[in-house]
Amino acid sequence: MHDDRTLVEARLKRVLDERVRPAVYPESIPLDVAVWNAPDEPVPVAEGLAAPPKPIEVGARWGAPWGTSWFRVTGTVPEAWAGRTVEALLDLGFDENMPGFQCEGLVHRPDGTPVKGLNPRNQWVRIGAPVEGGERVQLHIEAASNPVILDYHPFLPTRLGDKETAGSEPQYRLGRMDLAVFDETVWQLVNDLEVLGELMAELPVESARRWDILRAVERALDALDLQDVNSTAGAARSQLRDVLAAPAVPSAHRISAVGHAHIDSAWLWPLRETVRKVARTTSNMTALLEDEPDFVFVMSQAQQWAWVRDHRPEVWARVKKAVADGRFVPAGGMWVESDTNMPGSEAMARQFVHGKRFFLDEFGIENEEAWLPDTFGFAAGLPQIIKAAGSKWLLTQKISWSQTNKFPHHTFRWEGIDGTRIFTHFPPVDTYNCSMKGSEIAHAADNFKDKGVARHSLAPTGWGDGGGGTTREMVAKAARLRDLEGSATVVWETPEEFFRKAEAEYPDAPVWVGELYLELHRATLTSQARTKQGNRRSEHLLREAELWAATAAVRTGFPYPYEELDRLWKTVLLHQFHDILPGSSIAWVHREARRTYERVAVELGAVIDAAQRALAGDGSTALVFNSAPHSRDGVPAGGAAAPRVEGEVSLAPRTGGGHVLDNGLLRVEIDERGLVVSAYDLEADRETIAPGRAANLLQIHPDFPNMWDAWDVDEFYRNTVTDLVDADEVAPAEDGAAVRVVRSFEASRVTQVLSLSPGERRLGIDTEVDWHETEKFLKLAFPLDVHAERYASETQFGHFHRPTHTNTSWEYAKFEACNHRFVHIEEPGWGVALVNDSTYGHDVTRAVRSSDSGTTTTVRVSLLRAPRFPDPETDQGTHRFRHALVPGAAIGDAVREGWRINLPERRVTGAREVAALVTVDRDAVVVTAVKLADDGSGDVVVRFHESRGGRTRATLTAGFSVRDVTVTDLLERPLADVPSPAREGGRISLRLRPFELVTLRLKRA
């Protein structure tokens, strides 16, 4: 037979585009349209409906950036259409290639009832099926003129990312506004031809199945009268019936389709717009669930569910009904789909506490999966947290974005720092916006790395990022792919149904140990420094507020602020969303975040102050409150006392220029350039700084990544570096024994204060940067005379080791990594810690010196960047950072000093010292939370972990009468299979394995 394949395929494309798709709506009439523009922020529905609109014509421009316009469309169904299906086609000026990234609308009836959302891939509203003819139609559209930030030429700086700078130029032209007859037979034919055409393109040319489909398509096109598609569509469909009925082979890959609309809680739009995006999407999905009996939809992020409940109760009622029917499924059990690298231990735990509790309280549903399709890598401490929250599965897709190495599994067990293993799945479809295209389904089957031992994968199906969700076309395609020869099989299932099948078929899944590092988006550890500082400060303020309020409640009857703490925790958790905390959102989001963190600090400061004053009483004794988990300067952990500080610090001139700081434990030489050329550990008789090198060295790099400006730093940035060694001033500081260093470079200025404290082997470095650079990367370097093949960086409830070398491509790719409060480098018997109060990104490299063959291990802190997209003013202005270099530090010292720099002492005048509510007799056991139980019972909840990576025994002592002790999960529920620890009165005996996390609930007598 002659090969006419390309001829038939080209014929199919043209006929679909020019004849069949247009025939879905064979008749239409225009609607009358009027519009009212809200003067500023969105208004309540009743106000939008009542406002007087003015006529507007199709083709007219509308919509200032971030504006809201209320369109009223009216018309009458022609009598001649009686008995037919009629829909309104409402095009706000959509670009079909940008679902979720431009204008959107929510359609209401005149009484305010929401109907469904409008977006570029979902422009129809059903009027009747069938209609009687003569019906009067009136619909109201709340339309959001969100500007396009990520355009066809992406990553160009734009002022559209903040309402304050976006201007008022209309963004859109009103498109088609019609009533139209909907021909379902033609619509079904479109889906038949698309599924078969897409499948055909994925099959081998020599495959008999491909030619069977080709000939069936050819017969269908022959049966179609192109001058009368609507009358002949049924005949064309009949030619396709046999090839659509051919069943899949028994070995076909099996895909669990999950209806999905990944909605970024903020990104290229502000938080307030996400509230409306969620309402539009949930309206759409509840409507689709009513029409499609097999369809299942999942939505994660309890915060987004709460927004629907609190802002759109009429939509919430539909959502609740769909949840009760088991078809609208809460997923993930987290407050938001947060970043997991940077949130601290307690914050990561509370993401699950507040997320899971919301779904339990509202629906009685407990999630067993963590659902994080778009998060930028996963910290090694996360498996233990997932398990401690009562969950056991994890789904993500983002690791498929890695640029250097291909992850070896799609289904596996992920092992965290303490040994906890979580069954994990990466959907091989490689998208969280699956649209059921044949290329996507074929890619999932071909790409699946666990063939031969597993057969199931999951496909999150629906338009996402900016929402929208699943479309009726996706559901139609999935129905055809349920059991189709040549394709993977597709069935709608919940995440739980998928995970149970996947785990049952793969009981011996391979194990991946350690972090799931994303080899991309590394700069999110540094971008938007103020947002990161606000998060770190808020986490520690929340710790303090809970600790002192609980202590005061037990000691004095102080009213514990349950509701206030709950609200503030949720605020902080929201801002840990994976485009807020990482710094990859528009200017508006980060401007609001700064103000929010300021309010959080004021409110928590007031709670802390009130609780401490209640504890201290009225008096004139100067008391120091220590909220850190270790005692310091004579003040016990979690208590208050008069401080005891011993020792002196001297400041002397340095031979050759500069200054010398000495406190008897550490002698630091600062040269005339303001660089640290020596940090000598006097007790160990050991130099910290590598020979011939200088620490506290500011370095600046050009920083223009190939893509994703706020997200990425590409490895080639290191090819060019400028050491900032010229100083405007190096002089004694005005206060105390310290040295002040001032530098100017380009348009910026840095002021540093280097100081020692009495009795402490710690060099404090306070840095203020007035930053006015563009596309630059600022680092702070510490070349250390330490031979180390690996180093430790703090993560949730412990620390994680990374190699200092680049033997493999996996190690090479980690040229920028995350730490929390410390990085620790160690040779056997001696180490160095670098601690911080608000930075996360860092790099560690090693070199061998030619002079003495010694090893220099250089730790560099990432301070600031200056990307121009999506916020063209990223990080411009003044920033303050605190770091400390700790020579001679063991890992326990690194842990202690990390807490110290983040939890400064608070001084209160009072009448009495304050005993700690709980104490632990081993510094290796770190208490991360002391609080009252969330249920209002008055029970005291204590959470702690082993912090050094070794086994330990310890005694926890309660400073109050204890009636009972229970080991609980993160939600403070008893663990059925875990016995209560041994107890004598308030003394509780503990045995902990490395990095083990424990939550105890202490019932007060």
Q: Which of 988, 982, 919, 994 is nearest to 952 (CA)?
A: 994
CB 558 within 8 A of CB 914: no
Which residues 6+ apart lie within 8 Å of 895 measured at CB?
Answer: 794, 799, 822, 923, 926, 947, 948
Which residue(s) pair with 909 in the sheet?
Answer: 622
For the record, the structure tokens of 876 come out as 């411009």
Half-sphere exposure of 224 toward its Cβ, with a 13 Å CA cutoff? Answer: 27
Question: DSSP class of residue 41?
Answer: S
Q: What is the DSSP string of 96-142?
A: TT-TTSS-EEEEE-TTS-EEEEEBTTB-EEEEESS--S--EEEEEEE
Q: Phi-psi bin for 176: left (phi > 0), alpha (psi -120 to 50), beta?
A: beta
CB 301 within 8 A of CB 359: no
625 by Cβ neighbours in 10 Å (0-12 / 13-18 / 19+) ranks as buried
Q: Which of 602, 588, 439, 450 is nearest to 534 (CA)?
A: 602
Other C-beta atoms closer than 10 Å to the C-beta of 726 total 10
Question: DSSP class of residue 617?
Answer: -
Alpha carbon 271 to its chain's center = 14
For the record, the structure tokens of 682 come out as 């006097």
Q: Where are the beta strands (DSSP E) in 553-654?
A: 621-626, 639-641, 650-653
Q: How far apart are CA 33 and CA 816, in angstroms?
A: 54
CB 448 within 8 A of CB 428: yes
Q: How far apart are CA 45 and CA 57, in angstroms?
A: 23
Q: Which of 19, 589, 23 is nearest to 267 (CA)?
A: 589
Which run of H or of E encompasses 946? strand 940-946
Which of 192, 374, 712, 785 is an active site residue?
374
Q: How far apart are CA 986 and CA 446, in angstroms?
A: 60
Which run of H or of E encompasses 192? helix 184-202
Residue 374 annotated to the active site:
yes
Instruction: Give the active site residues.
Output: 374
